[in-house]
Structures are given as C-alpha cells and as structure tokens.
Chains A and B, each alone.
Chain A
Amino acid sequence: MKRLRHLLEYAAVRTILFVVDLLPVRVAVVLANGLGNLAWLFMVRRRRVAIDNLTRAGFAPDAAAARRISRACFRHFVRVVVTSLKSDAHWHRVPWQQCVEWHVPPEVAALLDDPQQGVILASGHLGSWEVGAQVLSHRKPVLGITRKMNNPYVDRLMLARKPRHRFELTPKRDADLGRLVGALGSGKALAIMIDTHARERGMAVEFFGRPAMSHTAIALLHLVTKKPIVFGWCLEVAPMRFAFHATGPFRFAPSGDKQRDVRTILEHLNRELEAAVRSCPEQYMWGHRRWRVPSEPATAPS
C-alpha cells in the first residue's frame, strides 16, 4: 500500500515536472502564483502556522496584514520551486550573469573567488535558496546538505534533478565529517540552512524574540575547521531575476567554553537571518514550525 502511494506521488511529480518544463517562464510563474493561492486556501494548518509566526515575530500589526503576508509567502514558495526547476533551461537562453545582481562585501567576494578557500555558507529559507546555491556555484563549487524525502522514488528524482553546474547535494544521513571537512579543504562552499528545527540535540537560541531549537553543527564546524562563515541569501526581484546578498565573513575564536562559543555563533547568525528577513518578509518560509517546543504549540485563528 505504501509502495503504491509512493508510486502515485512519483507519477504526479513527474507529470508536474513535465508540464513545468514545457511552459514558458511567464506562464509558469503565473501558474505558480495561482497554485500558491490555492495552497494558502486549502492548507489550513500551514496557513495558521504562518499567520501565527508572522504575528508573533512582529511583522503583522493586525489579522489582515498577517493574512496578506502569509498569502504572499505561499505564492513565493511555489515560485521558488518553479523557478528552481526552470532556471537551468532559462539560463541556456539568457546568460545567468544578466539575471543576478551581487550585493557582496569585497572581503566575501575575495573568498568566493579564491579557488583554494573553503567557506561555510550559512543561509535560511528566505528568497530563492535553491537558485542562490546554483548561482553561487558559478563562482565557487557548493555542497549542500539535504534531508532525505520520505518517498524514495521522489527522493531519487530530486537528487538527480537539483544538482547543477557545480552545485552538489549530500544526503543528511551520509554527511559524515570527512566529507564535509574534505569539501571545505578543497575550496568548496558548504551550504547549511540554519533555520531548520533541531529537536532535542539542538540548542535553544532566540529567533525573533523566541527560543528556537537550532542545529549546533555549523558553529562546531567553524570552531574546529576555522573556516570563515559567510551569511548569504538570494532574493527574487522579478520573474527569473535575483539579487544575491552576503554579509561577513565571520570568524570566532574558541574560548574553551564550548556551550558559550556555540551559543555566540548561533545567536550571531540568527541576528543576520532576522535582518535579512526584515528586508523582505514575504519571501520567508513562515509556514514551517520553527519555534516548535513541547509547551508551546502553534495556534492562531486563520
């Protein structure tokens, strides 16, 4: 039964990919916006989570604003998927350089353009993160860590489809230290999303004023490898046009107090992500349960 469900899901995904591949960019974007509106209408639980998160983070002064921004977020999320799927074909017609503005400090630019220098790239679910990794890979090879999907057929399809140019993915479960450290040692950018829920092995660090369980790996990786951290994000400025932003590089020296060192780094990175989200809240993925803690379930009227 489970296998049948997986096969049906796989067939649906293949069909969607086929349709998206056939459509011109403008039509695909219009379709994505429509699908986003439908998702906002029917995915009631996600919508409530998004509205609750927006309200608690102080982005929505009233219910109408929360609903408006959350709806924009849903549309944006579907566009992220569609533009990520279309980008490769699009850049065969229009050179990618014409589609990307760079807003990167000189020291970060020097690191990105140095083929010997490994960089830890911290980012979040803001803007077009998949396209961002793809764009960055034109300057420096990128290794991203991805979560294995529940459906093995779709997982294989996505692993075959997502990596492009010099952007590779490694499944989270296979992300052994040797591979990660080896990537940094060979001059790659190791991309880590800092805003995924870390469960019990994480550290509770404030994000928009509320404790959020955060993965400690990025901080420890920096402390043991001494590789600089760059915070990067890629905003969509128009259909198939993007602005890649970065701050840093950040370097922290170990003090001997591991917990304090890790907390300092994670707090710093969360402040960077907060500032980036403030610049464009409708492009952040508010629908994920970032502040999941047992005593505080997400509840809000829709």
Chain B
Amino acid sequence: MERSEIIHRLRSIMARTATTQHDWERVGETDTIASLGIDSLAMLDFVYDIQQEFAVQFEAHELVGVSTVGQLATFLDARTTA
C-alpha cells in the first residue's frame, strides 16, 4: 500500500474517532496523535478501527512509542508489507 494511501485512511479514521474537529486534509506526518483530540478512550476506538481497516493484527503495546501520524504510518507500512 502506498504511504499516501495509508495517511489518507488514517485521516479518515481519526476524523471518526477524535473528540475535536480539525481540517483533516491538512493533518500531516509531523502532527502528534494526542494533539488531534485522540484521548485515551478515543485511542482505543482508534486502534480497533486501525486493526479492522488495515486488516492487521498487532499487540497494542507495540504502539506505545508511536506518537505522530508519520510514525504510525511507518508502523502500518511495515505491517501491511510484511
């Protein structure tokens, strides 16, 4: 999957789960996930949706060091191409 496609899908999931509104098309790789209104409860929704959308299974603790949209895209890129 192209990286741009991963980012596009992530924006779509974040728009559904975030507790605050943003101009999602302007959200880029350097934005931190926490700054986009994804609190701890929304994060659980977010991880569930990622696992379903990308059809990948991973241990949730593997995401502990992931804080930006770009880092998450890299993580998913590695998983979907593995």
Contacts and interface: CB of A to CB of B under 8 A. Distances in A.
Given A178-B64, A184-B61, A258 B40 contact: no
Interface residues of B, number: 15
A181 interface: yes
B52 A201 contact: no
A254 interface: yes
Interface stretch (B4-12, B24-32, B43-51, B70-78): B43-51
B49 A177 contact: no
Contact of A177 (B40, B51, B52, B59): B40
Contact of A201 (B41, B47, B48): B41
Nearest to B19: A201
Nearest to B61: A185
Nearest to B67: A178
A181 B48 contact: no
B45 A177 contact: no
Interface string A211-234: 000001100110111100000000
Contacts of B48: 220, 223-224, 254, 258
A270 B48 CA distance: 22
Contact of B52 (A180, A182, A220, A254): A254
Contact of B49 (A175, A176, A226, A258): A258
B82 interface: no
Interface string B49-61: 1011000000111
Given A223-B48, A224-B47, A254-B52, A217 B61 contact: no
B51 A181 contact: no
A178 B60 CA distance: 9
Contacts of A221: 44
A117 to B, nearest CB: 13
Given A177-B60, A178-B64, A224 B40 contact: no
A182 B40 CA distance: 13
Interface string A137-170: 0000000000000000000000000000000000
B52 A225 contact: no
A301 interface: no
B64 A220 contact: no
B10 to A, nearest CB: 16
B45 A258 contact: yes
Contacts of A224: 44, 47-48, 51, 60
A180 B40 contact: yes
Interface string A40-68: 00000000000000000000000000000
A181 B41 contact: no
A95 interface: no
Given A224-B47, A256-B52, A217 B60 contact: no
Contacts of B44: 177, 216-217, 220-221, 224
B38 to A, nearest CB: 9
A237 to B, nearest CB: 36
6 contacts: A178-B64, A180-B40, A220-B47, A224-B47, A225-B60, A258-B48
Q: Which 8 A-B pairs have the closest CB atoms?
A: A220-B44, A185-B61, A224-B47, A177-B43, A178-B64, A181-B61, A225-B60, A181-B60
